[in-house]
Amino acid sequence: MKILRNVFRILVGLVFIYSGFVKGIDPLGTVYRMEDYFLVFNIPVFIPFALYLTIFLCIVEFSLGISLLFNLWIRKTVFVLVPMMIFFTILTFFDAAYNLVPDCGCFGDALKLTNVQTFIKNIFLMALVLPVFTWRKKFRSLLPPSGEFTVLFTIALAFCILSVQCYRHLPLIDFMGWRVGNQINKTERLPVTFYVTYKNKKTGEEKEYVSPNYPWNDSVWLADWIFTSQRVVDPNREQGLALRIEDQYGADYTSSVLDNPDYQFILVAYDLKKADREGFVKILPLFKKAIQDGYSFICLTNSLPAEIKKFRMDNGTAFDYYNSDDVVLKTLVRSNPGLILIKDGHVLAKWGFRDFPAYDVLKKKYIK
């Protein structure tokens, strides 16, 4: 039983540490999902507090994992663990049943689960958590209670500092498709596979074949089998670009930007009303020098043309603005505004507005 107790404790601890860590180092990603929940449940009044609530919950989740993994203060922390698990199990049940939010983000963007998979995961965790709660008095730490509290408090404080740092700059680990080093234009076309299903006229048996690998030219076979359906598997659609870049008239500029063989600067500000104005002031010297050197510099936003015009006049930004979906823009860079440098479809570097570099420093490091 002692081995079983420790196995349950360690498994739950590892899951909570992983879940808290991947969300805590990308707090803005979790904020966006929390805002979705507030809108779904019609409580937008909580949206201004989403960041604080996100960091708090990530700290609690990570600290609970540390408590379980290292057998620290378990007799106390399980009274937080169980209500937390009950709440999120109920929430994910409604997600699975009604698809309230397409992605609950229980593991951030590091590991994508469907709502049904998330609910099943929570049921499995509950099956481990409840025995741990029942056995809580049997766990013994090597440290005195004051020592256990001190260790947990120190870890929670350190994780809080890390999470705030990742919010103010960029995530410690980037799980997004536009992470540095990735190719984002995906120009290679993969083969499309066609599947056809035929049904036996006599027995009713159905068989699926990969076209054209079936006896379509056999008249004897065709006398007994009849075509019923076809399905297509197109991997290009699955890997296709979510980002679409349009001008104010709806013309598509995606390819001209992402397939640009030269250095391409992309300033991302999903919402100009919420964008940091000082960030735009800081980027202007870089923009002017990049243009002088002949490089393309654009801004992607989801704001309306009238908002863009007013923002440009108020802030003296002369670069070209293009429109993209705000949800997609939030996945490009966790900053509003944020800067991305690409070349020939490859992401070379990313910066949050607090870390915009001087052009000469950037040029020396990235532009060869």
The answer to whether the peptide bond before residue 27 is cis (omega within 30 degrees of 0) is no
Number of neighbouring beta carbons within 10 Å of residue 43: 10
Could you tell me if 135 and 2 are in contact, meaning their C-beta atoms sit under 8 angstroms apart? no
The pLDDT-based confidence of 186 (bands split at 50, 70, 90) is: low
Q: What is the pTM of this model?
A: 0.83
The pLDDT-based confidence of 218 (bands split at 50, 70, 90) is: confident
Axis-axis angle for helices 2-24, 27-40 (nearest 10): 90
The answer to whether the peptide bond before residue 212 is cis (omega within 30 degrees of 0) is yes
- Give CA–CA dist 197/235, Å, rounded: 20
Strand partners, 338: 268, 352
Residue with tokens 């300033």, as numbered in its chain: 267
pLDDT digits (tens, 9 = 90+) for 130-174: 999 999 999 999 899 999 999 999 999 999 999 999 999 999 999
Number of neighbouring beta carbons within 10 Å of residue 45: 8
Q: What is the per-residue pLDDT for 240?
A: 42
Q: With CA atoms as reference, report the closest residue to 90 among 126, 55, 114, 59.
A: 126
Q: Higher-confidence residue: 55 or 101?
A: 55
- Give CA–CA dist 202/225, Å, rounded: 9
Tokens read off for 340: 């991305």
- Residue 210's identity, in one-letter code, is V
Residue with tokens 């900053």, as numbered in its chain: 335
Q: What is the per-residue pLDDT for 188?
A: 54
Q: What is the per-residue pLDDT for 241?
A: 44
Q: What is the per-residue pLDDT for 238?
A: 43
Q: With CA atoms as reference, report the closest residue to 361 among 285, 296, 299, 295.
A: 285
Contacts 24+ apart (CB under 8 A), 36-39: 36/101, 37/100, 37/101
The pLDDT-based confidence of 226 (bands split at 50, 70, 90) is: confident
pLDDT, mean of residues 76-104:
93
Q: What is the per-residue pLDDT for 235?
A: 63
pLDDT, mean of residues 205-210:
90
pLDDT, mean of residues 301-326:
93
- Give CA–CA dist 354/337, Å, rounded: 9
